[in-house]
Amino acid sequence: MTMQSSGTVGVKRVFIGAGCNRIVNNVSWGASGFVSFGAHNAVAIFCPKSANILTTLPGHKAVVNCTHWLPSSKFLFKAKQLEQHYLLSGDADGAIILWELSLIDGKWREVLQVPKLHKKGVTCISGIMLSQTEALFASTSSDGTICLWELVFPPTRNGDCKLSCLDSFSIGSKSMVTLSMAELPGTGGQIVLATGGLDNKIHLYCGGRAGKLVHACELKGHTDWIRSLDFSLPISINGDANNIFLVSSSQDKCIRIWKMALRSSITTGNGIYKKEEISLLSYIEGPVLVAGSSSFQISLESLLIGHEDWVYSVQWQPPLVDSVERDAYYQPQSILSASMDKTMMIWQPEKNSGVWMNVVTVGELSHCALGFYGGHWSPSGDSILAHGYGGSFHLWKNVVNDNWLPQKVPSGHFASVTDVAWAKSGDYIMAVSHDQTARIYAPWKVEASLKKGEFWHEIARPQVHGHDINCMAVVHGKGNHRFVSGADEKVARVFEAPLSFLKTLNNASLKKNCSSDDVLTDVQILGANMSALGLSQKPIYVHAVHEAPERGVADGLDTLETIPDAVPTVFSEPPIEDQLAWNTLWPETHKLYGHGNELFSLCCDHRGELVASSCKAQSPTVAEVWLWQVGSWKSVGRLQSHSLTVTQMEFSHDDNFLLTVSRDRQFSVFTITRTGTDEINYSLLARQEGHKRIIWSCSWNPHSHEFATGSRDKTVKIWAIEKESSVRPLLTLPQFASSVTALSWIGLYDRRNNGLLAIGMENGQIELWRLSYNRADDGSISAPGLAATLAVRVDPFICHASTVNRLAWRKNDEDHMSMQLASCGADNCIRVFDVTVE
């Protein structure tokens, strides 16, 4: 039977949450004003003004190591008229992809894949704009090679870029991890390239725009790995702009500024050095760099000591507009450094003595943080951005007179996101990840006289754990917000929302008059503290906050044995990383013991009375599904059926059946009956081999007793329970291009015979299928009466770039024609889509 379609299905991206890969050269701030970063094997783009991730670019097969804009923020002055900006991204397999962004409509396209010359991962990409249509970029790899490329941009949109390899050479056995390029002043187009890495030296290469690069000299001084290099634009000294500076940072905790001065500027025509006054500006002469017919004297301008740990990143401030000549730009003498000591510093020379000093220090003081991997200037130089060990961003803006204040930034998981679920109220989504955290995202509604809208943000981090978290289940029913999580341990943990979160949620959803709510008045726990081992979270009671405990001097020290107390806070605006990491924990109320291996799957029934759990298993006894009674949290059942790990479970809409699917390629349906004395009776209704490979996912029809199963064999099958006694197959959808890893079924218009099935796959793609069927008088469905049609294949640029792990629907009570779909994946991303049926 062909389905009678009642309209089209539209899908629109609402929110993307993702953390940054914990790699040094991962982030780039472009002249476009957008920031690029790698999120697993996707390239993510976020707008600092709105603090939202705009899109992710799929294409890489391996983890993205580095990104670089053409033009970058340094070359904003050469990009004023550009309508297309370009982005380079390199991954751990050695592949480099060029992307194009049209500023007019915000559309992205993959332009080309750079010929693969690197045999190992790309560690750094750096480029310079020669003109508005021509650029040079170089890439370095852990295989010890450097490649230099020329890129000519098309004059019109969607044109072809011309790419040519100018040079490729090997440095040696020690891999290079950073590089920088510049045009040498006064040389008629000579290029200098600096690279550094594991041999503690800075290697300088010179050459023409179209010729081979020649090794010019080495700069020695650092005593550990070189981590970052950056050339300035020409700096005017005594009226001559014939000097450029190179700044370098290292794991020896030091920053060095190297001056490269055109020889003619420091010698007379007879080759006799001018006499210079001996002062603090005097430098130690280093090697001479020969570039064509010109030569440059290299000297150590300054040694900056201030950081207490490895300095991962240094960057010159982008050029500023000359206050006198509006069309002219100048290079500010200002350097930003980022270190693993959790600080970023701005260094500038003192006006009178010329000695370089630390003028601004900003940092992340959370007990959880382990430092910064990189720091970046905004194109205008009024904001600085850091990315840290926890996959997080930190943004400060110079509000006035060097008063740098923290700003909102996007956030998300920095490892595979394993499970996602909507709150029972639908006000937020919760996700858990192998980054050992549970996070809550919600739309923060804005109501002002001029603007009204909402933007999604992370508003709480209820669990920060010591094990990778594999699964979670939101507890439905009446009462406070609760959830159960399962990690790489044998214990499931139950958490309950504290008072500080409930009030923050009210602020986010603009619910002003909730102080009389029974839940708010009953909750006596304000927040939670982390234990020393990072496993349990202890409650902080409301009455205890007013009792200031006496603490000795030693008690306040941040040591390995003691950790600072959390300060539960009610937020009136979206919290930043410092606050999220420590002050938004939920207290743990119960531990559920019973499983013999690590937890793998959890689900809760719709009444909020039962929670089912499963663990990793290789035998029938370990593969048992445990049932827990909500409230008392006692074990009330152990369901045996499978011989290997149960991968997903779900209760039917009326809670009369529990469906389980397993690695043993079978699905099982259990009947669940409840007696008046809170006893649970259960029995195995059916067990059947449903697929030829592992069954990863399952989902019930929300209005009746049909269900879908999805498998590694790339198929989705629809089944029906016959007269509550047996299961029979109804339909098999056409084979998909990739393994089916996630399913979620939602009913349309509250009708029993119309629904949407969301299907997520291993390649990151999401498809929505329309299911409709005719029922007989007894309610059963005949096979010819069921039809499935593809409603929409979601655009890859808003889909995941890796395996979709879970899908979850939310109905819109106000508009039955629109719904929201949440998804999470192995690309570290969580996504929310608006789905409309016309």
Interval 243-274: pLDDT, tens: 899 999 999 999 999 999 887 644 444 443 34
From 655, 786, 763, select the one nearest 717 (Cα to Cα): 786
Averaged pLDDT, 399-422:
91
* Residue 553, CB-side half-sphere exposure with 13 Å CA sphere: 0
Distance between CA atoms of 420 and 417, rounded to whole angstroms? 8
Indicate the helix (H) or strand (E) that contains 412.
none
With a pLDDT cut of 70, the percent of the chain lying above it is 87
Look up tokens 């889909």; give the residue: 799
769: closest CA among 786, 756, 750, 752? Answer: 756
pLDDT-derived band of residue 519, with 50, 70 and 90 as boundaries? low
Euclidean distance between CA atoms 145 and 415, whole angstroms: 29
Do 40 and 64 form a contact (C-beta atoms < 8 A)? yes
CA dihedral 796, 801, 806, 809 (to 10 degrees): -30
pLDDT higher than 60, residue 235: yes
**Cα atoms in the Cβ-side hemisphere of radius 13 Å centred on 183:** 17
Residue 505 is classified by DSSP as H
Report the largest interatomic distance among the alpha carbons of the chain, rounded to a whole angstrom: 108
Q: Which of 231, 237, 191 is nearest to 210 (CA)?
A: 191
**Whether the predicted pLDDT of 450 surpasses 60:** no
**Is pLDDT above 50 for 449?**
no
Over residues 665-674, the mean pLDDT reads 92
H-assigned helices in 509-550? 518-522, 542-545
Q: What is the DSSP string of 372-402?
A: EEEEEE-TTSSEEEEEETTS-EEEEEE-STT
Q: Please state, in angstroms and rounded to a whole number, the distance separating the CA atoms of residues 489 and 463.
A: 15
pLDDT for residue 386: 93
* Burial of 380 (C-beta count, 10 Å sphere; 0-12/13-18/19+): middle
Q: Which residue has the higher pLDDT, 758 or 81?
A: 758
From the CB of residue 474, how many other CB atoms can be counted at a distance below 10 Å? 22
| CB contact burial 382-411 (16+ within 10 A = b; e otherwise) | ebbbbbbbbbbbbbbebeeeeebeebbbbb
- Cβ atoms of 179 and 159 within 8 Å: the answer is no
Average pLDDT over residues 213-227: 91
- Predicted confidence at residue 284, as pLDDT, reads 59
What is the pLDDT, as a whole number, of residue 325?
Answer: 67
pLDDT digit string (tens) for 292-310?
Answer: 788 888 999 999 999 999 9
- Residue 433 backbone zone (phi > 0: left; psi -120 to 50: alpha; other: beta): beta
Model confidence over 329-384: pLDDT tens digits?
888 999 999 999 899 999 999 988 889 999 999 986 655 567 899 999 999 999 99
pLDDT bucket at 172, cuts 50 / 70 / 90: confident
The mean per-residue pLDDT over the stretch 393-413 comes to 90
Of 74, 77, 189, the C-alpha closest to 132 is: 77
pLDDT over 70 at 778, yes or no: no
- Return the minimum-mean-pLDDT range out of 53-67, 376-390, 561-575, 593-607: 561-575
Burial pattern 628-656, b for ≥16 Cβ within 10 A else e, equals bbbeebeebbebebbbbbbbbbbbbbebb
> What pLDDT does residue 371 have?
87
Number of other residues whose CB lies within 10 A of the CB of residue 500:
26
**Distance set, CA 637 to CA 41, 642, 685 (Å):** 41, 15, 16
Q: Which two tokens stand for residue 598?
A: 């690590």
Q: Show the tokens assigned to 645.
A: 């790990």
Whether 643 shows a pLDDT value over 80: the answer reads: yes
Residue 552 predicted with pLDDT over 60: no
pLDDT at 642 over 50: yes
pLDDT, residue 487, reads 93
Rounded distance, CA 284 to CA 759, Å?
A: 66
**Residue 414, φ and ψ in degrees, nearest 5:** -110, 20
With H, G, I as helix, E, B as strand and everything else as coil, classify residue 506: helix
Cβ contact 812:819 at 8 Å:
yes
Which residues have a Cβ under 8 Å from the Cβ of 511 and sit 6 or more positions away?
505
- What is the average pLDDT score of the chain? 85
Contacts for 298 with CB less than 8 Å, ≥ 6 apart: 204, 217, 219, 258, 259, 260, 286, 287, 288, 289
Backbone angles phi, psi at 577, to 5 degrees: -55, -45
Mean pLDDT of 535-556: 57
Contacts of 526 (CB under 8 A, 6+ apart): 498, 499, 500, 540, 541, 542, 545, 568
Judge residue 267's burial from the number of C-beta atoms within 10 Å of its C-beta, 0-12 exposed, 13-18 middle, 19 or more buried.
middle
Which of 351-355, 388-392, 604-608: highest mean pLDDT? 604-608
AA letter at 226: I
Average pLDDT over residues 776-793: 70
pLDDT tens digits, residue range 64-104? 999 999 999 998 888 777 888 999 999 999 999 999 999 88
Domains of the chain, first to last:
417-545+563-837 (2.130.10.10)
pLDDT of residue 545: 52
pTM of the model: 0.89
550 pLDDT more than 70: no
Strand 214-219: give its sheet, edge to edge: 176-183, 191-197, 202-207, 214-219
The burial of 232, by beta-carbon neighbours within 10 Å (0-12 exposed, 13-18 middle, 19 or more buried), is given as buried
Q: Are strands 829-837 and 9-18 parallel, antiparallel or unpaired?
A: antiparallel
Asked if residues 31 and 71 have their Cβ atoms less than 8 Å apart, the reply is yes
Look at the alpha carbons of 433, 434, 438, 444 in this order and tell me if their dihedral is positive or negative. Answer: negative
Contact status, residue 497 vs residue 480, Cβ threshold 8 Å:
yes
Residue 773's pLDDT band, with cuts at 50, 70 and 90, is confident
Characterize 12-50 residue by residue with b for buried, 16 or more Cβ atoms within 10 angstroms of its Cβ, and e for exposed: ebbbbbbbbbbbbbbbbbbbbbbbbbbbbbbbbbbebee
Look up residue 722 and give its two tokens. 């016959």
Rounded average pLDDT over 188-216: 88
Name beta bridge partners: 262.
296
Instruction: Compute how many other C-beta atoms are within 10 angstroms of the C-beta atom of residue 763.
Output: 18
502 pLDDT higher than 80: yes
pLDDT tops 90 at residue 226: yes
d(CA 329, CA 410): 32
- Determine the residue type at 700: W
> What value does the mean pLDDT take over residues 269-285?
44
Q: How far apart are CA 745 and CA 12, in angstroms?
A: 18
Strand partners, 707: 700, 719
**Per-residue pLDDT band at 8 (split at 50, 70, 90):** confident
> In this structure, what are the phi and psi dihedrals at residue 290, rounded to the nearest 5 degrees?
-100, 125
Could you tell me the two tokens for 26?
Answer: 């991962």
Q: How many CA atoms lie within 13 Å of 798's alpha carbon, on the beta-carbon side?
A: 17
pLDDT level of residue 156 (50, 70, 90 thresholds): confident
Q: Which residue has the tokens 């979620």?
A: 744
Phi, psi of 499 (to 5 degrees): -60, -35
Distances (CA, A) of 699 to 531, 624, 703: 37, 20, 12
Q: What pLDDT score does 564 carry?
A: 61
Strand partners, 46: 35, 53
- Retrieve residue 120's tokens: 């190992």
* Distance set, CA 42 to CA 51, 65, 359 (Å): 19, 10, 37
